[in-house]
Amino acid sequence: MKIQLIPEKCIACGLCQTYSDIFDYDDDGIVIFSEKSDLEGQFPDDPAILLAAKSCPTKAILAD
């Protein structure tokens, strides 16, 4: 599954990291990937990642 981050939309609520450890935060609390420096990446199909994307209140995480 392709995951794309949109940092401009992130409000640093912290919800995504509670669902999946592929997400982390920069010094300002804005979402980043824990092991990548890109804003998009391919990940195995994982219900936790999909739940994190669907639960993001500002849609800063997109899953395809």
pLDDT tens-digit readout, 7-30: 999 999 999 999 999 999 999 999
Contact 63, 23 (CB under 8 A): no
Backbone angle region of 22, left / alpha / beta, with phi > 0 → left and psi within -120 to 50 → alpha: alpha
- Which two structure tokens, joined as six digits, stand for 53? 């994307």
pLDDT at 2: 97
The pLDDT of residue 52 is 97
Asked: is 2-63 a CATH 3.30.70.20 domain? The reply is: yes
